[in-house]
């Protein structure tokens, strides 16, 4: 195996472990019910994690040339692992703000430090087929929810006799061993020093304030909000639909019934994560052929239609299929963004501006989950309906916003 493909493979597996954060909805109901916290209170742990991921990614991308991808990813992986350990202690003693600190702030910072490095490193090694190469890496992140919801979490829950706190301790132990080992393979190719000095004179702020950057940031943020509505609450939303279809005399506090509902939710998380992962790879490859922005328009338009259908759907199987399509498109946004960023700004500025684009992930990570959490806490019976109306409206806005993008407005000194 060539060096660049070894880096691509280890980067993909690094993202696979980091992407376990996407299995949050697997834990949403159990944590909320066992601790007595509201949906909104519990969901803030996940929202904070994604918020810190995006903010820290912007910093890490800008510091890639200073600290290197290996160091950033190893430190980030360790912080993500310690976040689980702190969260385990928080769950054991029902300390909500400690859960926010552990899973949200510490874990989110770790994710942000470790996320950009594999993508930027692989992008630097692969001068051709950018969408395919970087799409493969971020595909690993999408598959993380599958690994957690169907393999890691069920196994560790059995080992801990169903104790959530102990399960989080076990997850932290796994992460602190595996992520630093995989991240140790990351290494950037030797830079062109002459070209590097030329590019260092460019103000990153100049690009961030430009119209093309703002347009891409907005449509990426809207794509994130749509996906986060389901990543954070797909299991509870599916369980709500299943409860409506059950007989009125069903005891939903019965252990067997609860286990059945949780298993259905876990299955949807696992299956949808496959679509999330494949979307990153497939849409990234497609964008190599049809263009990055055209691909984004397809993603936004398709999801707008799906959200319209979700307003009318009350069948669990149809609901699950539509969720999978949304996450296929959600993952597609992550598959297209790295290559779009490199097309716009060149390989040297790619890490910094890619990290800046990921601050949209921060916003989406707060808005998406909190839309559903608010609806479930205040309009329980129509939570899904109201959330889908809001999400669909945003997607329509994103689609029309994409037409404000003009490639000729982008300044790229490498072209």
Evaluate whether 109 touches 56 at the Cβ level (below 8 Å). Answer: yes
Token pair belonging to 392:
């669909």
**pLDDT confidence of residue 397:** 97
The residue whose two tokens read 């990426």 is 220
DSSP state of 231: H
Taking 70 as the pLDDT cut, the residues of the chain under it are 1, 129-130, 191-203, 247-257, 411-415
Token pair belonging to 147:
């690994």
φ/ψ of residue 411, rounded to 5: -100, 120
**pLDDT confidence of residue 359:** 94
**pLDDT confidence of residue 325:** 96
Token pair belonging to 15:
């993202």
**pLDDT confidence of residue 415:** 47
Evaluate whether 57 touches 355 at the Cβ level (below 8 Å). Answer: yes
Over residues 328-360, the pLDDT tens digits come to 999 999 999 999 998 998 888 888 899 999 999
CA distance 107 to 109: 6
Closest CA to 139 of 285, 341, 346: 285
**pLDDT confidence of residue 195:** 46
Tell me the Ramachandran region of residue 4: left when phi exceeds 0, alpha when psi lies from -120 to 50, beta otherwise: alpha
Rounded to 10 degrees, what is the CA torsion of 227, 232, 235, 241? -70
CA distance 170 to 73: 21
**pLDDT confidence of residue 200:** 47
**pLDDT confidence of residue 197:** 46
pTM confidence score: 0.81
């Amino acid at each position: 195996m060539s060096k660049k493909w070894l880096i691509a493979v280890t980067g993909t597996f690094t993202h696979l472990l980091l992407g376990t954060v996407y299995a949050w909805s697997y834990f949403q109901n159990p944590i909320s019910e066992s601790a007595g916290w509201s949906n909104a209170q519990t969901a803030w742990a996940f929202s904070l994690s994604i918020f810190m991921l995006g903010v820290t990614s912007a910093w890490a991308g800008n510091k890639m040339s200073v600290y290197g991808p290996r160091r950033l990813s190893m430190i980030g992986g360790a912080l993500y692992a310690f976040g689980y350990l702190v969260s385990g202690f928080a769950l054991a003693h029902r300390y909500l703000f400690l859960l926010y600190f552990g899973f949200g702030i510490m874990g989110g910072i770790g994710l942000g430090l470790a996320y950009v490095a594999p993508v930027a490193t692989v992008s630097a090694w692969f001068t051709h087929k950018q969408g395919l190469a970087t799409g493969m890496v971020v595909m690993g992140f999408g598959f993380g929810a599958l690994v957690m919801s169907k393999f890691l979490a069920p196994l560790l829950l059995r080992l801990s006799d169903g104790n959530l706190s102990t399960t989080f301790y076990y997850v932290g132990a796994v992460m602190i061993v595996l992520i630093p080992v995989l991240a140790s393979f990351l290494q950037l190719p030797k830079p062109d020093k002459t070209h590097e000095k030329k590019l260092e004179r460019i103000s990153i702020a100049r690009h961030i304030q430009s119209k093309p950057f703002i347009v891409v940031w907005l449509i990426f943020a809207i794509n994130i909000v749509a996906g986060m509505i389901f990543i954070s609450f797909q299991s509870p939303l599916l369980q709500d639909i299943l409860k409506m279809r059950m007989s009125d005399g069903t005891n939903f506090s019965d252990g067997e019934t609860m286990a059945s509902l949780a298993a259905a939710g876990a299955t949807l998380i696992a299956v949808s994560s496959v679509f999330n992962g494949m979307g990153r790879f497939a849409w990234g490859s497609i964008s190599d052929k049809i263009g990055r922005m055209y691909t984004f328009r397809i993603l936004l338009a398709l999801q707008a239609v799906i959200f319209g259908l979700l307003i009318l759907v009350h069948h669990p199987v149809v609901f699950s299929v539509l969720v999978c399509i949304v996450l296929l498109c959600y993952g597609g946004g992550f598959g297209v963004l790295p290559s779009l960023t490199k097309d716009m700004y060149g390989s040297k500025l790619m890490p910094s501006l890619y990290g800046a684009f990921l601050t949209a992930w921060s916003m989406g990570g707060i808005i998406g989950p909190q839309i559903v959490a608010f609806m479930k806490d205040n309009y329980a019976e129509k939570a899904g309906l109201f959330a889908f109306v809001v999400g669909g409206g945003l997607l329509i806005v994103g689609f029309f916003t994409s037409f404000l993008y003009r490639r000729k407005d982008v300044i790229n000194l490498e072209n």
